[in-house]
A and B are shown apart, each in its own frame.
Chain A
Amino acid sequence: MSRLRLINAESGVKTQARGRILNTLAVPIRNILGEVSGDIWEGVEEIRLRQNRPLMLVLDRGDCFVDPRGAITPSAFKAYIVTGDDMKKTLQLMSSCSIYSLEEELRQGFLTLKGGHRVGLTGKTVLEQGRVRLLKHITGLNLRLARELPGVADKAIPYLIDETKNTIYHSLLVSPPQGGKTTLLRDIIRQISHGIPSLGFSGLKVGVVDERSEIGGCCAGVPQMDLGPRTDILDGCPKAEGMMMLIRSMSPQVIATDELGRGEDAEAVEEALHAGAKLLTTAHGYSLASLRRRPILSHILAERIFERILFLGFSLGVGTLEAVIDGESNSSLLSKPLR
């Protein structure tokens, strides 16, 4: 009985979450996607609207189109065609009818919704002195559903923490795009911020510089994801500047950022090291060799700053831990891929 109630409660929460996502879409699309069956919805990673083109869903097992009755179909010809009005209404809903409140977001090409879902935008850019000032005539929209996966870092955590000093190693998470870097980073942050009683690890102060609002999925500065009780988050802040700001004022024990790789990042990394903070960051890449080809990263790698480098891949499914390398000795700590 109580188990049944638990299941009901859980499905209630899911329906609610789904309703909240659908409420940001124009009514015709909302109605169609409302008909999509629950187990397909479970696997939805992206909802893609392109003006005058078929409505598309990206599932964990590939993409598909949606027909006007909400059934999924592999054929683009049977699919519902997204109209200009759908795009306009959707954008109005996402911006609460106030495009001007999203100028910064339109300049960067994405916005974050309540719940931490990211919306990528394409359209016509308006330039000012050669730089993008904003987007207008938005004709393409990619709603990436944010899913928290508490516990996804359980496999990786033992390689990252230094139990003798109750701290973590300077760590770099590497994966190809959509390989689960950010999801893993988020759960690592959550766990080290909470502390891990089973490993006798007590929580650390974590400062997060969330340049693209992906880690915390902040909406109006409030993280929509659980990042733990000892976490301070700077939302939408350039990495290098944000790292300095945190060091100066928030005394973080760990500084976490996403996607290292720009020129000024190297300097900020050094600064963080001098301040005694541990680094936890990610990079796009496939292997150590591919990282070394990138100028800034190769510089950071040559300095042997990172004590642990984790490679993610797809060999056993999304988020497979392919290799863990000890940065000091360059030796592998993992005998075979883990998931």
Chain B
Amino acid sequence: MKFTGALLVIVACGLLGNDVARGYAQRPRLLRSFQTALQFLETEINYGATPLPEAFGKVAAIAEPQLAPFFLQVREKLLAPQALSFQEAWEWGLKDLGRYTVLGPRELDLLLSLGGILGGSDRKDQVKHLLLTLQQLKEAEAREREKSGPNERMWRYLGFLLGIMLILTFY
């Protein structure tokens, strides 16, 4: 009985550690995908002058599975008749994104500022702001990538070790 309990504690701590490690591994990848999506959006705005709802539909089609629902949901909000402003729809979408992906508040804050800008000015201005955000995302990605290697490995073991330590302390 005691043995089963101890095993459960170790496994649970191990999984927890794994989860944190996964976050470290996934964050740079997700930031990279977000850049690809925004680059696509920039092309749509600059060369196609495509309105945002339509452009978001196109972005969703090329974005990776984790991000696609975000663009689709914002698009849906924009097309609904209760008339959310773009900023409201965007912020709502990002909040949801924070809940379902490993993106943390720091990364989301970078994206949040786009809410007040996208759709609100002429093409030149839109492109300028998008390029700025892309640059910031790139830096964030590099930062995360640097952290990810050692941190990921550490957390993968740390979870199990923590579990074992708990058992040793209270056994």
Contact = CB atoms under 8 A, between A and B. Distances in A.
A92 B85 contact: yes
Interface in B94-136: 118-123, 125-126
B31 interface: no
B119 A98 contact: yes
B24 interface: no
A98 B86 CA distance: 9
Given A92-B119, A95-B51, A134-B122, A100 B85 contact: no
Nearest to B78: A97
Contacts of A100: 45, 49, 119, 121-123, 125-126
A101 B81 contact: no
- Residues of A contacting B: mostly: helix
Contacts of B126: 100
A96 B122 contact: no
A101 B85 CA distance: 16
A96 B50 CA distance: 10
Contacts of A93: 83
A96 B52 contact: yes
B23 interface: no
Interface size class of B (residues with CB under 8 A): 20 to 34
Considering residues B51, B89, B118, which has the most beta carbons from chain A within 10 angstroms of its beta carbon?
B51
Interface of B: 45, 49-55, 78-79, 81-83, 85-86, 89, 118-123, 125-126
A97 B123 contact: no
A114 to B, nearest CB: 13
A103 B123 contact: yes
Contacts of B53: 96-98
A93 B86 CA distance: 10
Interface string A6-33: 0000000000000000010011001000
Pick the most buried of A89, A92, A98: most chain B CB atoms within 10 A of its CB: A98
Interface of A: 23, 26-27, 30, 88-89, 92-93, 95-101, 103, 106, 133-134, 136
A99 B81 contact: no
B122 A103 contact: yes
A27 B45 CA distance: 27
Nearest to B46: A100
B121 A97 contact: no
Contact of A99 (B50, B79, B89, B120): B120
Contacts of A95: 51, 119
A99 B119 contact: yes
Contacts of B85: 88-89, 92, 97
Contacts of A136: 121
Contact of B50 (A26, A27, A92, A101): A101
Nearest to A24: B83
Contacts of A89: 83, 85
Contacts of B55: 98
B83 A98 contact: no
B49 A103 contact: yes
Given A92-B119, A103-B123, A134-B122, A97 B82 contact: no
Contacts of B79: 96
Contacts of A101: 49-51
Given A101-B49, A103-B123, A96 B78 contact: yes
A254 to B, nearest CB: 33
A45 to B, nearest CB: 25
A133 B45 CA distance: 18
Contacts of A97: 51-53, 78, 85-86, 89, 118-119
Contacts of B120: 99
The 6 closest A-B pairs by CB, nearest first: A98-B51, A97-B86, A96-B51, A97-B119, A100-B123, A101-B51
Contacts of A133: 122
Contacts of A88: 85
B70 to A, nearest CB: 16
Nearest to A96: B51
10 contacts: A23-B81, A92-B119, A93-B83, A95-B51, A97-B51, A100-B49, A100-B126, A103-B49, A133-B122, A134-B122
Nearest to B45: A100
A27 B83 contact: yes
A172 B95 CA distance: 60
Contacts of A92: 83, 85-86, 119
A89 to B, nearest CB: 6
A36 to B, nearest CB: 19
A4 to B, nearest CB: 30
Nearest to B82: A27
A99 B52 CA distance: 9
A98 B55 CA distance: 10
